[in-house]
Amino acid sequence: MALHTRLTRLLGIEHPIIQGGMAWTATWELAAAVSNAGGLGVIGAGQMPTDLLREQIRGAKLATDKPFGVNLMLLTPHIDELVQMVLDEGVAVVTTGAGNPGKYMQALQDKGIKVLPIAPSTALARRLEQGGADAIIGEGMEAGGHIGELTTMVLVPQLVDAVSLPVIAAGGIADGRGMAASFALGAEGVQLGTRFMCATECTIHPDVKARLIKAKDRDTLITGYSTGHPVRALKNKLAKELVELDKANKPQELEALGAGRLALAMRHGDCENGSLMAGQCAAMVDRIQPAAEIIAELLAEAETVMLSMATRVAQ
């Protein structure tokens, strides 16, 4: 069964599956593998130096002739420079996180780039639709990294009602059941981050993949409430220290302690002092497998669930 939606037509992709553009995690190797398998691979820019992101984009272009995207984290201090470089290099899609990409929308779309902002609320989604976004990624607080307040289960149907653009569900989706559930809520695509962290092609340190595979249902926590930018990550020494700073309401010390910790975990494998940003569904990821296999499994499971649901409730 092919799952074709407004999203697959908008982006010219085969399957309505987007790979989350995770900073220091989603490099061109993963993005190209996902795009080659018919999904949308996304390079995570995070706070990457501009030249490094340019190399990443060029790497992806050599490895796939399919559309791929770049995720821009809008809190990045040199975000204007990153946007200019993306405009110069040209990519098919930009997803954005941690803010409103309104001021860049026209310039990106003038270059033919589709803009898919991540929205944690209906108010922002409405503003983004008015500002010309091509689709909205609704990310619930089950997700890893920087999160909003609402769960995917309540956010996605409200977004579907609030805007007429295609909505992509994100946060807490790790298998075909989550994918089918997202479609039941009205989504026309899904975005998965944590599951793709354990793709063979994901270049994060193998020790981080091992921690994800070991993770159980209550192994993530949220830190950074006091800074106004809460972040979900796997529990470890750093996360516990950050929780203490949150309790003591010391946002500046918290930000200072957190700086550079994502790369320390993902690139260098320091699983105690680094930030292991990951979603609650880490507990549902149990093996390393090629991105193409993840996508094939998601589609097969989602199909089985969608077809079996009617039979199950009619008995």
Contact residues: ligand TUI, CB under 6 A: 23, 46, 73, 75, 97-100, 118, 120, 124, 139, 145-148, 229, 231, 277
- Tell me the C-alpha distance between 269 and 272, whole Å: 9
CB closer to ligand TUI out of 92 and 98: 98
In angstroms, give the least distance from the CB of 83 to ligand TUI.
16
CB closer to ligand TUI out of 98 and 306: 98
- Within the chain, what is the greatest distance between any pair of CA atoms? 59
CB 45 within 8 A of CB 70: yes
- Tell me the C-alpha distance between 143 and 102, whole Å: 23
Residue type, 127: R
In angstroms, give the least distance from the CB of 268 to ligand TUI.
17
Buried b (16+ CB within 10 A) or exposed e, 109-141: eeeebbbbbbbbbbebbeebbeeebbbbbbbbb
CB closer to ligand TUI out of 36 and 220: 220
Name the residue whose CB lies closest to ligand TUI. 145
In angstroms, give the least distance from the CB of 120 to ligand TUI.
5
DSSP H or E segment with residue 153: helix 152-162
In angstroms, give the least distance from the CB of 3 to ligand TUI.
24
CB closer to ligand TUI out of 79 and 180: 79
Burial of 147 (0-12, 13-18, 19+ CB in 10 A): buried
CB closer to ligand TUI out of 108 and 180: 108
In angstroms, give the least distance from the CB of 103 to ligand TUI.
11
- Tell me the C-alpha distance between 71 and 20, whole Å: 8
In angstroms, give the least distance from the CB of 139 to ligand TUI.
5
CB closer to ligand TUI out of 233 and 285: 233
C-alpha distances in angstroms, 162 versus 6, 100, 132? 17, 17, 15
In angstroms, give the least distance from the CB of 212 to ligand TUI.
16
Closest by CA to 295, choosing from 11, 13, 7, 12, is 13
Sign of CA dihedral 246, 252, 253, 259: positive
CB closer to ligand TUI out of 144 and 178: 144
